[in-house]
Structure 1
Amino acid sequence: MIRLSTSLMYQQSLNSMLGTQSMVSATQGQVSSGKRISVPSDDPAGASRVVALDHAIARAGQYSANIDGATARLSVESTTLDAFNTQLDQARSLALQSIDGTLSASDRHALAAQLVQIRSQLVSLANTADANGNPLFAGTANTHQPFVLAADGTVSYAGNGAAQETVIGDGLRLANSDPGDGLFMRLPAGNGQFVVAAGPGNTGTLLVGASAVVDAAAWQAANAAGAADYSINFNGSGQWTATDAQGNALLDANGNPIGGTYTDGGSITFNGLTIQLSGTPSAGDTLEIKAGQQQDVFSAISNIIGALNNDGLSDTARTNLLNRQIESIDSAQGHLQSVQADVGSRLSRIADQKNAYADLTLTLKSTLSDVQDTDMASAISQLMLQSTALQAAQQTFAKVQGMSLFDYLK
């Protein structure tokens, strides 16, 4: 037989009310905060999922922020390269203008002065910094001015050849800029494959025009041992012969010396290359052909300036020199346009990646809401039931508390 004391009934009733009140308080908290899980004890498994989802959302957010930074740098680079190419267009135009044989020395000096300003502007563009003040074209070097213009017009590079990269995903990295040595300093000279220069001692009127590789297989076969250095020698009667760097006659496939007859406005072709020429060479005039040469774009401008300021050059020598520098500018612009296309490709790629993260974040937040957030309709209904139960328990306890044995005996 179990005997219930008055104090035990009181304690049981009180515990029941406190339990119900605790459930009401918890449900009220869910309704007011909108969160079903406030502490891990609310739902240990759900809390674990919340932590994992929060981390995934944070990672996506960090990658998106990284992409924003990379986008800003690449956009500035694209704009800068556009401006750089515009300056090169102006330099090329002035160089072409300066070939006019009717210009006076003062006219040429005035053109050279304009080119000096363009060179300074090119160096300034090459030192462009991003929104945080970090240079775009220094590679990973810790310097704020990667390109330095000396008093003699030479430009040196204080950066390195390593591209800065941005982490845009798990195991995904993307270059957010391009190092300046590959952009502006180590460019293929001439037509990009070889350079043709008129011999410094030439006395005729021979002018070197466009040059190109017209037979890649023949060119590669002839230069399989490395970069080719050739000389073309004229005898003054329209005949030319080709020699190697040691002065030995070049031979064709049949073992015959390579050479031929040149006529004004014609071309010379051998070993897969061709050179357009005009004018008349004197006996002993030469052309020097060198493959694999490099030149920085600033030197091309400086060489044009030097040619325009050198009043001792003949018109033929000056024109040949200017033609070669124009050729180098063309090669540099082609290279920069290729880089710009690559920058555009990178911008497109990270834009797609940013959109993917936006979609992923939306999905993760939706899943997090399903796990963590309160189902308002269910919670409010539950709160009403719990509140009713608590009110009933409180009323019952109040009646029982006020009763005694004498109340039952009446």
Structure 2
Amino acid sequence: MIRVASSTLYTQGLSSMNSQQSALLHVQQQLGTGRRVLSPSDDPVAASRALGVSLAGSVNGQYATSRKQADATLGLSESTLQTVTTTVQNIQTLLVNAGNGTMSDNDRATLATALQGQYDQLFGLANADDGNGNYLFAGLQSSTVPFTKNAAGGAVYQGDTGHQLLQVDVARQMQAGNNGAEVFQSVTANAGYVLTGNSANTGTGTFSSVSASDPTNPLYGHSFTLNFAPNGAGRMQYTITDTTTGTQVVPATDYNEGVAISAGGVTFSVKGAPANGDTMSIKPAQQAGGDMFTNLQNVINALKQPLTDETANANLQNVLATGIRQFSNSLDNVLTVRSSIGSRMQELDSLDTIGTNRDLTNQATLSSLTDLDYAAAISEYYQRSTALQGAQQSFMQIQGMNLFRFL
């Protein structure tokens, strides 16, 4: 006969109740939290996968934050450039009005004052910030004022040509803005040519707009200088020199007012009576100067000068024609930048949609790994509760099984 000590019976009973109590408590915690995996030991594989999914969700959330920051900066830039567009269009209107031959010196001085107001407005827009002291058009030097004025009153760019890049998705870094040099001091690659007169000209020659007659010409893209000089018989002639190579591309040719002049794939015409030694420059827009502030200041200075004779009037007309072409190029450049900003903002919307779908996928995966099946958990709860009650009743019966009851 095997004899079992009373202490063994008590120990086994207590162990059984503790085990059942622990199992019941675990189910209660699952029901309370709604999670099946409360610790890695519950399901090591699921816990490991859930950790990876959670980390992926956190990274995706950081991408979403970067997209919001990029969208806010781009939105402010677009709003500012919309005003810049209006300002440039106002400048163009004033430049066209300035070409009115019936204006007096006072009228032109008034126009110069109006253009100075547009200059100041443009200068302020170029130095716009986001409200937190970060300048929109300073490149990577966001805490530096992009444009300042030198001793002569001209605008000087203080920022850099870099771009702030934000990681807006797994494999996508995006420019959060554009620097001032590419907005206010540049032109597009297809801006064509700009004709410029020489302020020292003594004749009355004025030029027309220049057009690209043959972009396939091997000299297209070079700079040229048009020189006027009379021949031995006193007949006015012109030559054209390729200043890029230093060679003459058009020999001495008789000048005829209004007749097309061509060189290197570009065509224009000249009216009036050029004088001996007068010159005109024909340059690609990128080399002719794309700085809005410098170009506008040149026009303002010219309008402030009184017109004393036909030569001064011709020089002014050439300055205005150059200014009109330059600001047409500047407007195209601003619109191109705005188009780029719009494309980036549209891309951010698409990436937001992708990020939202990725979040939903991560949440579904995480739910399948760690969320509780309530039906199964409730069923287990009742099973554990019944088992605990049975263990408690068994312990009570064992507690009564001793010889001391019969003494």
- What is the TM-score with the length of structure 2 in the denominator? 0.90
Q: Decide which moves more: 139-148 or 377-386.
A: 139-148
Match for residue 222 of structure 1 among 219, 222, 225: 219
Per the alignment, residue 45 of structure 1 pairs with: 45
Contact 1:268-1:276 at 8 Å conserved across structures: yes
| 1:162 and 2:162 matched | yes
Q: Which digits, 9 at most, give the CA deviation of each residue in 1:214-234, with x for residues without a partner?
A: 21121xx126xx842322325
Match for residue 368 of structure 1 among 349, 366, 369: 366
Q: CA offset at residue 273 of structure 1?
A: 0.6
Name the CA distance, whole Å, in 1 between partners of 2:246 and 2:355. Answer: 65
| 1:286 and 2:283 matched | no
| 1:259 and 2:256 matched | no
Q: CA offset at residue 282 of structure 1?
A: 4.3
Q: Cα distance 1:356–1:260, how it changes in 2: closer, same or farther (>3 A)?
A: farther
Name the CA distance, whole Å, in 2 between partners of 1:404 and 1:13. Answer: 15
Name the CA distance, whole Å, in 1 between partners of 2:385 and 2:188. Answer: 83
Q: Cα distance 1:64–1:246, how it changes in 2: closer, same or farther (>3 A)?
A: closer
Q: Secondary structure at the match of 2:36?
A: coil
Q: CA offset at residue 164 of structure 1?
A: 0.8
Q: CA RMSD for the aligned pairs?
A: 2.6
| 1:78 and 2:72 matched | no
Identity %: 32
Q: How does 1:311-326 map to 2 (within 5 A)?
A: 311-312=306-307, 314-326=312-324
Q: Decide which moves more: 48-57 or 35-44.
A: 35-44
Contact 2:9-2:398 at 8 Å conserved across structures: no
Q: CA offset at residue 24 of structure 1?
A: 0.4
Q: How does 1:335-374 map to 2 (within 5 A)?
A: 335-374=333-372
Deviation beyond 6 Å, 4+ runs, structure 1: 246-249
Q: CA offset at residue 30 of structure 1?
A: 0.4
Q: CA offset at residue 370 of structure 1?
A: 1.2
Match for residue 268 of structure 1 among 261, 267, 274: 261
Q: CA offset at residue 336 of structure 1?
A: 1.4
Task: Flag structure 2 segments of 5+ consecutive residues without an equivalent.
Answer: none
Task: Flag structure 1 segments of 5+ consecutive residues without an equivalent.
Answer: none
Q: Which digits, 9 at most, give the CA deviation of each residue in 1:34-61, with x for residues without a partner?
A: 1112222222222211211110000000
Contact 2:105-2:307 at 8 Å conserved across structures: no
Q: CA offset at residue 245 of structure 1?
A: 4.4
Q: Decide which moves more: 240-249 or 179-188.
A: 240-249
Name the CA distance, whole Å, in 2 between partners of 1:97 and 1:198. Answer: 20
Name the CA distance, whole Å, in 1 between partners of 2:245 and 2:387. Answer: 110
Q: CA offset at residue 186 of structure 1?
A: 4.1
Q: Which digits, 9 at most, give the CA deviation of each residue in 1:247-270, with x for residues without a partner?
A: 988346xxxx36355233x42122
Q: Cα distance 1:108–1:404, how it changes in 2: closer, same or farther (>3 A)?
A: same
Contact 1:143-1:159 at 8 Å conserved across structures: no
Q: How does 1:52-201 map to 2 (within 5 A)?
A: 52-141=52-141, 143-150=143-150, 152-187=152-187, 192-201=191-200
Q: CA offset at residue 91 of structure 1?
A: 0.9
Q: Which digits, 9 at most, give the CA deviation of each residue in 1:364-409, with x for residues without a partner?
A: 01111111111111111110111111112212322332343476x8
| 1:232 and 2:231 matched | no
Q: Cα distance 1:311–1:2, how it changes in 2: closer, same or farther (>3 A)?
A: farther
Name the CA distance, whole Å, in 1 between partners of 2:399 and 2:245. Answer: 124
Q: Which digits, 9 at most, give the CA deviation of each residue in 1:171-230, with x for residues without a partner?
A: 4211111111122124479x9443322333434432212112221121xx126xx84232
Q: Which digits, 9 at most, give the CA deviation of each residue in 1:120-144, with x for residues without a partner?
A: 1111111112254311111112533
Q: Cα distance 1:276–1:334, how it changes in 2: closer, same or farther (>3 A)?
A: farther
Per the alignment, residue 208 of structure 1 pairs with: 207
Query: One-letter code of the match for 2:314?
Result: T
Match for residue 243 of structure 1 among 241, 244, 263: 241
Query: One-letter code of the match for 1:290?
Result: K
Q: CA offset at residue 10 of structure 1?
A: 1.6
Q: Secondary structure at the match of 2:385?
A: helix
Contact 1:208-1:275 at 8 Å conserved across structures: yes
Contact 1:184-1:297 at 8 Å conserved across structures: yes
The total of aligned residue pairs comes to 399
Match for residue 328 of structure 1 among 323, 326, 329: 326
Q: CA offset at residue 288 of structure 1?
A: 2.7
Q: Secondary structure at the match of 1:178?
A: coil
Name the CA distance, whole Å, in 1 between partners of 2:266 and 2:130. Answer: 43
Query: One-letter code of the match for 1:222?
Result: L
Name the CA distance, whole Å, in 2 between partners of 1:249 and 1:54. Answer: 69
